[in-house]
Amino acid sequence: MNNDVPYVTVVIPAHNEEDYIERCLTSILAQDYPDSRYETIVVNNNSTDATPKIARQLGVQVIDEPQGPVGRVRNAGAKAARGEVLLFIDSDCIAPSDWITYAAGKISSEPGLVLGGGCELPQNPKPIEKYWLLNGTEGATLPRDLIGASIAIATSDFFEVGGFDESVTSGEDSKLSATLRKQGFLVSIEREMSVIHLGNATSYRDFIQRQIWHSENYIKDLQKSIFDPTFILTATFLTLLLLASISLPFSPRIAFLTALIAAIIPLIFSTKRIRRANTWHHLKNLPQIYLVDFSYLLGRSAGILKGIKRRSK
């Protein structure tokens, strides 16, 4: 009976995740899927803490991939996999007990389907977590593209499209979404695939640093970035801030008007996120949501500048 279900490999990239890896693995080991029909591979990416030790103590396979960005780390796990279906989850996430069952059932019955999920809030979230991952009536807002926290794909399909892009430091999941759709696969983001994300930024400083990291590749892949609405709005925001700074000594009035126009852009993001959450009760929290989106654009703008500096060397 158990042999009637596909063999599944869960791939977990991990770099210094000793605070979260045990809870992540506990959720994977407690799945309602037959134990004999799935394996778990933790890909240790140069951890200097107890991450690999904790994983081994829990009895899962640990392999090392010391080089490269997270795309390469995920690919290393996929190459070591024995499963017909690959599931990717981040090491700071907790999966629901039927996560594998749901994914394996749909992937095996619908050829060409790729599943993704969103990130649910942990218990007692910090304000920045709550105003970044806006909850709607059914839970957290679902992303439009795949995110590395929860992906399910047939192993053959994964390798057919070349896996994750190993040349970028972030955004490899979004690039995989674009590649899959371009090649005719159906990418479906479903609430049943959502996981609880424990490792959210809990301070504005950390949040901005993460956005800098996420946006460093905008300039590296500029030909594609110029068609990305988020990049266009971020570049506009950055340009307006630079113009306001330059014009301030000569014309404070122009500087003020330019900065005022720039300040509208975070409001566009906030309104869009509230609308996508499918509930307008968040309007009462608009100032807090706006502050998060303003910080988001500051971080993304700094990432663009960092990318320009890196490219000019």
pLDDT in tens, 46-71: 999 999 999 999 999 999 999 889 99
Which residues does 10 contact at the CB level (< 8 Å), separation at least 6?
Answer: 28, 38, 39, 40, 41, 87, 88, 89, 100
Which residue from 257, 267, 260 is spatially nearest to 291, judged by alpha carbons? 267
Tokens read off for 14: 């991990």
Can you tell me the distance from the alpha carbon of 158 to that of 149, in angstroms, rounded to the nearest whole number? 16
On whether both 117 and 18 belong to a single domain, the answer is yes
What stretches in the chain show pLDDT beneath 70? 1-2
On whether both 136 and 263 belong to a single domain, the answer is no
On whether both 114 and 248 belong to a single domain, the answer is no
Cα dist. 14→4, 50, 81, 90 in Å? Answer: 31, 11, 16, 7
On whether both 121 and 48 belong to a single domain, the answer is yes
Can you tell me the distance from the alpha carbon of 200 to that of 147, in angstroms, rounded to the nearest whole number? 14
> 197, 219, 246: which is the final residue of a domain?
197
On whether both 139 and 254 belong to a single domain, the answer is no
Tokens read off for 196: 């609880």
Alpha helices in 49-124 (DSSP H): 51-57, 70-79, 99-109
On whether both 228 and 107 belong to a single domain, the answer is no
Q: What residues make up the domain containing 243?
A: 204-312
> 177, 197, 217: which is the final residue of a domain?
197
Cα dist. 235→214, 219, 243 in Å? Answer: 14, 11, 12
Predicted confidence at residue 222, as pLDDT, reads 85
Pair 91, 17: CB distance under 8 Å: yes
On whether both 103 and 167 belong to a single domain, the answer is yes
Pair 145, 174: CB distance under 8 Å: yes
Identity of the residue numbered 273: R
- Secondary structure class of 64 (helix, strand, coil): strand
On whether both 239 and 298 belong to a single domain, the answer is yes
On whether both 190 and 300 belong to a single domain, the answer is no
Phi and psi torsions of 162, nearest 5°: 90, 10
Can you tell me the distance from the alpha carbon of 14 to that of 46, in angstroms, rounded to the nearest whole number? 8
Predicted confidence at residue 216, as pLDDT, reads 86
- Packing angle, helices 252-276 and 229-247, rounded to 10: 160
Which residues does 242 contact at the CB level (< 8 Å), separation at least 6?
Answer: none
Predicted confidence at residue 1, as pLDDT, reads 46
Torsion of CA 81, 87, 91, 94, to 10 degrees: -140
Predicted confidence at residue 137, as pLDDT, reads 73
Predicted confidence at residue 79, as pLDDT, reads 98
CATH of the domain at 30: 3.90.550.10
Predicted confidence at residue 271, as pLDDT, reads 94
Predicted confidence at residue 157, as pLDDT, reads 98
On whether both 264 and 246 belong to a single domain, the answer is yes
- Secondary structure class of 31 (helix, strand, coil): coil
Number of domains the chain is built from: 2
The length of the chain in residues reads: 313
Predicted confidence at residue 169, as pLDDT, reads 83
> 197, 219, 242: which is the final residue of a domain?
197
On whether both 158 and 232 belong to a single domain, the answer is no
Identity of the residue numbered 136: G
pTM reported for the whole predicted model: 0.89
Can you tell me the distance from the alpha carbon of 228 to that of 233, in angstroms, rounded to the nearest whole number? 9
H or E, element range at 102:
helix 99-109
Predicted confidence at residue 70, as pLDDT, reads 93
On whether both 254 and 214 belong to a single domain, the answer is yes
Q: How many CB atoms lie within 10 A of CB 181?
A: 13
